[in-house]
């Protein structure tokens, strides 16, 4: 319910070619407490006046020379595109009332004026109109907040997973809190770690440290998007991404390989313009995995499985500035890459594993 104090602040325009009618209506409305009242005897001015002032209600006489009230309302439709005109028509002709309502007027007042009728119709129309405007503002605010929520959700979760989570909104709370979990027969996981970052962070301010991480990880985010990988998370100065989920693709190993090569170029570009030259170590492995969203709050899309541990070991047992991959990834590659055997390493829980260094792609990227 709109308070009467807000209604009395409404902007009104009275249109009548008879000066006596203008004076009568204005005095009547001012005596009721309305103080923002304009008037004109020239109907050709109404459209421009409304465009400039956006009146809450226009009291419009239908019978005027040069331009009648129906023509004025047709012109107002160019401003009020929803077809709802803030118009209270004034007429002495009963047959014009229905026509005016069909054109888009909100209501009518009969001549000669009945004081109680005029005040009641003006107040009722303003109540409805201002309430509709308030509702529209609230609706638009809800849409803005909804867009923001969806943007944040899509930044936290893969788009396909976010869509599934939003699809549960009509279900019960128990359904909403159920974990989203999917199994994948073959995915490729990539880990990248900034070499010597702990020592670097101890020698700079927190602002510089965070700025450097933000710069590098933003570059990696762009690469992941371009190469078709899903960023899983960052852990301190470690960056994790995966190919082949949540949407299954057959070239997941190639995508991860191309991303790793792009990351080496990105760190070189960073060093060329930075006061703090750094290096990265990258590990890649391929295999089965389980991925999904668990928990009831602070949703995080995560990945589990032996392939995650192996990719992490490929990174931690690797060499700065190089990309080390497992033999499973080498076998999964479908594009020609330049590879160099990295020997056999001992991997905790896995024993000895044959590894390969990825040097570059044989074809143009």
Which residue bears the tokens 């998370």?
233
- pLDDT score of 223 more than 90: yes
CA distance readout (Å), 11 to 37, 49, 86, 116, 270:
6, 12, 11, 20, 59
If asked whether residues 191 and 334 sit together in one domain, one would say: yes
If asked whether residues 97 and 184 sit together in one domain, one would say: no
Q: Whole domain around residue 8: which residue ranges?
A: 4-138
Residue 192 lies in a domain: yes
pLDDT in tens, 6-44: 888 999 999 999 999 999 999 999 999 999 999 999 999
Banded pLDDT at 158 (limits 50, 70, 90): low
**Whether the bond into 82 is cis, omega within 30 of 0:** no
Tell me what the mean pLDDT of segment 227-237 comes to.
91
Residue 320 lies in a domain: yes
Residue 157 lies in a domain: no
Which runs of consecutive H residues, i.e. helices, occur in the chain? 4-7, 19-31, 46-53, 69-76, 94-103, 115-156, 159-166, 173-176, 197-202, 206-227, 252-272, 306-316, 327-332
Residue 147 lies in a domain: no
Banded pLDDT at 169 (limits 50, 70, 90): low
The answer to which of 130-134, 210-214, 217-221, 324-328 has the lowest mean pLDDT is 130-134
Q: Read out DSSP for 332-347? A: H--S-EEEEEEEEEEE
If asked whether residues 129 and 181 sit together in one domain, one would say: no
Residue 67 lies in a domain: yes
Q: Is 83 left (phi over 0), alpha (psi -120 to 50) or beta?
A: left
Single out the residue in 71, 104, 138 at which a domain terminates: 138
Residue 143 lies in a domain: no
Q: How many domains does the structure of the chain reveal?
A: 2
Q: What CATH number has the domain bearing residue 333? A: 3.30.70.1230
Decide: 289 and 187 in contact? Cβ < 8 Å. yes
Q: Over the chain, what is the mean pLDDT?
A: 86
Single out the residue in 96, 122, 138 at which a domain terminates: 138
If asked whether residues 343 and 211 sit together in one domain, one would say: yes
Residue 144 lies in a domain: no
- pLDDT score of 306 more than 80: yes
Q: What CATH number has the domain bearing residue 77? A: 3.40.50.2300
Residue 156 lies in a domain: no
Tell me what the mean pLDDT of segment 330-338 comes to.
92
- Using CB atoms within 10 Å of the CB of residue 310, give its burial: 0 to 12 exposed, 13 to 18 middle, 19+ buried: buried
Tell me the C-alpha distance between 221 and 218, whole Å.
Answer: 5
If asked whether residues 131 and 179 sit together in one domain, one would say: no
């Amino acid at each position: 319910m709109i308070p009467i104090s807000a209604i009395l602040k409404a902007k009104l325009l009275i249109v009548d070619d008879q000066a006596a009618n203008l004076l009568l209506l204005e005095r009547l409305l001012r005596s009721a407490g309305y103080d923002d009242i304009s008037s004109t005897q020239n109907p050709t001015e109404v459209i421009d006046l409304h465009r400039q002032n956006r009146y809450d209600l226009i009291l419009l006489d239908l019978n005027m020379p040069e331009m009648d009230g129906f023509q004025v309302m047709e012109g107002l439709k160019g401003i009020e595109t929803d077809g709802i005109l803030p118009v209270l028509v004034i007429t002495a002709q009963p047959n014009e009332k229905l026509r005016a309502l069909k054109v888009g007027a909100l209501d009518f007042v009969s001549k000669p004026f009945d004081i109680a009728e005029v005040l009641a119709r003006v107040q009722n129309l303003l109540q409805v109109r201002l309430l509709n405007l308030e509702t529209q503002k609230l609706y638009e605010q809800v849409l803005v907040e909804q867009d923001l929520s969806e943007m944040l959700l899509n930044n936290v979760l893969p788009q396909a997973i976010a869509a599934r989570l939003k699809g549960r909104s009509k279900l019960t709370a128990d359904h909403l809190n159920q974990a989203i979990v999917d199994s994948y027969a073959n995915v490729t996981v990539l880990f990248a770690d900034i070499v010597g970052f702990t020592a670097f962070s101890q020698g700079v301010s927190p602002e510089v440290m965070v700025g450097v991480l933000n710069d590098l990880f933003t570059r990696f985010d762009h690469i992941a998007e371009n190469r078709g990988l899903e960023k899983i998370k960052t852990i301190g100065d470690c960056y994790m991404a995966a190919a082949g989920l949540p949407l299954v693709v057959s070239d997941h190993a190639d995508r991860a390989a191309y991303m790793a090569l792009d990351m080496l170029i990105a760190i070189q570009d960073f060093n060329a313009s930075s006061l703090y030259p750094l290096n990265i170590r990258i590990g890649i492995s391929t295999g089965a995995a389980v991925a999904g969203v668990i928990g009831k709050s602070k949703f995080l899309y995560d990945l589990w499985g032996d392939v995650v541990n192996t990719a992490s070991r490929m990174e931690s047992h690797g060499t700065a500035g190089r990309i080390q991959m497992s033999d499973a990834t080498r076998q999964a590659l479908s594009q020609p890459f330049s590879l160099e055997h990295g020997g056999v390493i001992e991997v905790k829980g896995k024993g000895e594993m044959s590894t390969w260094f990825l040097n570059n792609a044989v074809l143009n990227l």
